[in-house]
Structure 1
């Protein structure tokens, strides 16, 4: 796999530098830590701060969602690795406006440990109150009765959207955490992988798969899925992903959902819209209404092939957060 890089050891630092230089009106790098980025536009006092973060390689996640209406800062990790506690703490200090900070991150061992350590440091050293909400939307990663063990994948986008809006509405820390957790509880994702990505430092594929194979339930870092087999048509893949989601969460006729068909890095939008076409058909046949849809690369895995489908079950409260305007470098909603 050919990549446009210099020294592979420096890819994260050079990406962050390029991103900050490309979007100076939106984002700035803290002098105290080059992996700590915050909103360049001043936020109001007594607003709950929203801090997101995770490994690099998922662009536009996670740094692309710092901006008005979503996150106030991001801690950047190495490729597919959690940020260390230091940049998390530095971002926490920078975005605290007196109302505390909420950490949003995926349910991975490194993230759980490092964000937890940073929260303790913020409390003990800086007297900053921190709340946390984990993303556990990946249906394939654990059975329904063990949902707290599931990974966070593309559904994290909806959690950022809900929490960012709640903070903008002026809700306090406990309410922002509640809404973030509610968004996660109402969100399910299921993915398919068709080709691996290649880590810049090694040049090795993240997993092995045949030219005419696919893997259902593959993780965003190449974690094993639940089933490998011959590549199916877009309609059959969409049927499998949506039906597995609907078997896991009760969404009845007349209810509304937000839908995300997310590319993993190398899947053309043509393919994603073909998948979305079938997703819409399935939901329409069941009498489930699509309130808002998103199609494209929202949380990727370098140049991995494949896609995921995410449904978030809506009520009035979550619909209000979905409708809230956003202005980030990688995502704008008016």
Structure 2
């Protein structure tokens, strides 16, 4: 195992310490229990909290700041954070308008966030993200997994909360975005969890895992390596079959790297995506290309489509200032 690491047991704490120091103008790190919160809180604003296992950076801590999350609760690598982290974060960032938990659909995350929601003294609600169309159930979930579409929900609902919306309005908006968003990914390699020290799964040099999960869970099929156009076509066919956008639909397209894929390849994959959509009279209104929801050093990518309306477009374009996403400020 070759990683920048001192001691395996200190991987998360040292990584978070570096993150918080690098972005001290935006975030504050709480050590016990562990959570990252926005440095400047806005009074009487709905607070957004997300979280999950580490290893998916910049998700979630990298999206704490103006226009997105108010706090993030990081667990150990690929391991859910605990209810006490979530409850402490909620207490720290609540400014009187309640808290909205944004949760990816993984069994551990859902169980712990639900426990925190029930025990939390702060008024709260939850949005469950299940945008992955690859498989209906996996070793980590009951129902579809939550993957890169989470970033879109966090951005859009974060903007709505910033504009003064109520907790109920933010919850309804988040659920609507989730229903209009779908993703699917492909892996070329596995990744190594530091505590394990070995590859999460084995895959041949000439093979790809179509529909992989962000923890290395199996997808729809193991297949021979193919061209970018062919891979994009398979992913997009599954996504569009799920979303069923109308001809001429306005789409937000996210081409997301899984951690080990060069940006040049991601832009090439975006071009394949653009041409495929163009041939079907589906319009790209907004685009984002980069590694936003990763799986440690896994090589591969995912494609996410979100069917926009005018309200969603307005909130996507609104200013955001976080370590992992910023514009308009």
TM-score using structure 1 length: 0.95
Post-superposition Cα deviations, 1:160-179, rounded to whole Å, max 9, x if no partner, equal 01110110111100100011
Q: Do the aligned residues in 2 keep the contact of 1:32 with 1:90 (CA within 8 Å)?
A: no
Partner of 2:217: 223
Hey, what does 1:99 align to over in structure 2?
97
Distance 2:320 2:68 in 1: 7
Alignment of 1:8-23 (within 5 A): 8-23=8-23
In structure 2, the CA distance between the partners of 1:85 and 1:331, relative to structure 1 (3 Å rule), is same
- Unaligned runs of 5+ residues in structure 2 are none
Matching residue of 1:29: 29
CA displacement, residues 5-49 of structure 1 (integer Å, 9 cap, x when unaligned): 01011101111111111111100022542x111001232x21100
Is the contact made by 2:41 and 2:70 (CA closer than 8 Å) also made in structure 1? Answer: no
Q: Is the Cα–Cα contact under 8 Å of residues 258 and 291 in structure 1 kept in the other structure?
A: yes
What is the RMSD of the two structures over their aligned residues, measured on CA atoms?
1.3
* Contact 1:136 1:148 survives alignment (8 Å): no
Change (3 A) 1:284 1:104: same
State how 1:198-217 maps to structure 2 within 5 Å: 198-217=192-211
Partner of 1:254: 248
1:183 aligns with 2:172: no
2:117 maps to 119
Is the CA contact (8 Å cut-off) linking 1:264 and 1:303 kept in structure 2?
yes
**2:15 corresponds to 1:2:** no
**What is the CA-CA distance between 1:142 and the residue it aligns to?**
1.1
Alignment of 1:14-93 (within 5 A): 14-30=14-30, 32-33=32-33, 35-43=34-42, 45-93=43-91
Describe the SS at the equivalent of 1:248: helix
Cα distance in structure 2, aligned partners of 1:115 and 1:148: 15
Deviations 1:222-269 (A, max 9, x none): 111111111001111011111111111111222101000000000111
1:2–1:31 distance in 2 versus 1, CA, 3 Å: closer
**Secondary structure, aligned partner of 2:261:** coil
TM-score, structure 2 length as denominator? Answer: 0.96
Runs of 4+ with deviation above 4 angstroms: none
Is the Cα contact below 8 Å between 2:106 and 2:142 reproduced in 1? no
Paired position in structure 2 for 1:161: 155
Q: Give the superposition deviation at 1:333.
A: 2.0
- Partners of 2:180 and 2:254 in 1: how far apart? 14
| 2:235 counterpart of 1:237 | no
Tell me the residue number matched to 1:318: 312
**Kept in 1: contact 2:180–2:306 (CA 8 A):** yes
SS at structure 1 position matched to 2:87:
helix
CA contact (8 A) 2:52 2:60 kept: yes
Q: Which residue of 1 aligns with 2:129?
A: 135
1:266-313 per-residue CA deviation (whole Å, 9 max, x = no partner) reads: 011111111100101111111111111011100000000110000000
